Amino acid sequence: MLDKGVEDHIFTGAVAYIDLHGEICSEAAGTIDIQPCSTQVTLETVFDLASLTKPIATTLLVIYLEEKGLLKLNNSISHYLPLFKKTLFENVPLWRFLNHSSGMQAYSPYFKTLFGLPEAERKKRFELFLTQEKPCYTPGETNIYSDTGFMVLEWVISQTCSTTIDKLFSREISGPLGLETLCFKPLTSLKTSCKLFLTSLFVYLFITRPKFSKNPCLRLSYSISFFVE
């Protein structure tokens, strides 16, 4: 099935895991990208989960912090990020950023400017860019999937906990669940089909072959990560 998917150009490469009555079968097929002489996918290949980072990491951490009483979804964004005061987003509640109804643009090419700056200056400039955004629709009027809105949420999380989202995710979510292969910023020695950029600003989750647990809850956690993408 995987070979057929590669042949039909549905994907360049993939890894399949099947757990049948405790017996695990795994297969790999294809390459990590479409370039000639591309690296072959193996059972150890690291995959970029891309926008699955939003529900698996960012949203889970917002819920976790809300349960801990550190965030309230009805509070305005400026309550947590004072730099949004006197902007057009000042009174937009946190939950509108979660359900993509905040008015934020779907995407803004910040990297075009940030790449040209010294690394030490990028974070502050990035935050300034976010506060300078203008609504592309009246908040609550509709829902537009927004990378930019979730970048704001990442900032809220980091500001609230005085740590980075990758460290918090490891400490509070993936670590306690034993999901050691689900992480931000994998080791540089691991081959990946995606090039990380500006990782100190906004990062994606990566995953490689899991060590399956006998705990069905952990297997469910892996199945979410593998089969939604």
Element (H, E) at 158: helix 147-161
Between 160 and 189, the higher pLDDT residue: 160
Q: How confident is the model at residue 192 (pLDDT cuts 50, 70, 90)?
A: very low
Q: Is-contact 118 63, C-beta < 8 A?
A: no
Q: Give the rounded percent of residues in the chain with a pLDDT score beyond 90.
A: 47
| Residue 223: pLDDT band with limits 50, 70, 90 | very low
**pLDDT reading at 179 higher than 90:** no
Residues 6+ positions from 9 with CB-CB distance below 8 Å: none
pTM of the model: 0.77
In the predicted model, what is the mean pLDDT of the chain? 82
Structure confidence at residue 119 (pLDDT): 83
pLDDT at residue 158 greater than cutoff 90? yes
Residue 48 confidence (pLDDT) above 60: yes
Q: Which domains does the chain have, with CATH numbers?
A: 2-50+180-227 (no CATH), 53-167 (3.40.710.10)
What confidence tier does 52 reach under pLDDT thresholds 50, 70, 90?
confident
Look at residue 217 and tell me whether its pLDDT is greater than 60.
Answer: no
